[in-house]
Amino acid sequence: MQLIKDNYLRGTGHGDTWHVEIDPPKRKVKSYFEETVEAAKYMYENKTGELYLLYSGGLDSQYVFNVYHRLGFKFKPVIIRLQGRYSDQDYNIHETQYAFDHCRSLGITPIEYCLDADKFIESGEAFDLAKSFYCGTWWLTSTMKVASWCDGFVTMGNDPPYLKYLKDKDEWVLEELEYIHSILKYFTINKLEGCPFLLSYTPEMMLSFLLDPRIQDLANKKYPGKQGTNSSKSYVFNNGSGFNMEGYDFTNGRKKAAGFEFVINTPLAECEALKQNVEWQKQYRGIYYENYHQVVKRLSVNQ
């Protein structure tokens, strides 16, 4: 099975030369939830082996979990526990608590993989692994390492299309990050069977997300002060699905985790292996922007 349907989403170059090409859908799109269901069914019919879902506890992977559960798929949720000597709890408990609670509420027992985060970082393994697939963000490597432990078809709830407000230009743009796309390289290099970009798997999913009423209102500046779609995507996930997922609350509630929070406030932030690799990462941290209205117009040619 293809990592991206018909290779419609293609990234090339590195750093300053990073560029993304996106092909338009060939048919009229439905709602994002309907397109997610179609993509998930296609994936399930074409997968090889048992179905695994790397379940971080973030909104994206919870949405995929809910879709699988709604469709009656047989799947194994996998929760990664990052452990170390600087905390009496898992370093990533701020996210995984939601995953554990969600599984518990449905009577589902997840697979737990424990990783010694201290050793993984201090030994330099995290950075060596990042270099093996040209990933500009070392914190993704723990997820990739565990993906290789799953003996089956590995799926991930990676970010759906993401919009960002560029204050200096006063415009909303579609953002595609090189380090996220490096996950595709990891799957290819290590010959992993799976679907790491399920939430952007088809061109129909890409456009339907951009056309969701909440996202259109955001891009038309009806919510002054918003900087991105992280706090709005729960509305897209809930639209037509009835999931009633709790959204991110950056003031008092559930927060979006970037992936490195467990290091910032510990001595790990000062370890030599991390310091030595700061500069190396920068060459693989390309960012591609495309104006929201322009990309929607370009991708809507067959609507």
Full set of structural domains in the chain with CATH: 5-299 (3.40.50)
> What is the pairing mode between strands 162-166 and 153-156?
unpaired
Question: What pLDDT does 258 receive?
Answer: 65
169 contacts: CB under 8 Å, gap ≥ 6: none
Q: How far apart are CA 151 and CA 143, in angstroms?
A: 15
Of 102, 143, 103, 98, the closest CA to residue 120 belongs to 143
Q: How far apart are CA 29 and CA 31, in angstroms?
A: 7
Q: Are 123 and 273 in contact (CB under 8 A)?
A: yes
Question: What pLDDT does 158 receive?
Answer: 81
Q: Could you list the mean pLDDT of each consecutive 10-residue stretch along the chain, which spans 303 residues?
A: 97 97 98 98 97 96 97 98 94 94 96 97 96 95 97 92 96 97 97 97 98 97 94 94 84 70 90 92 96 98 95
Q: What is the pTM of this model?
A: 0.96
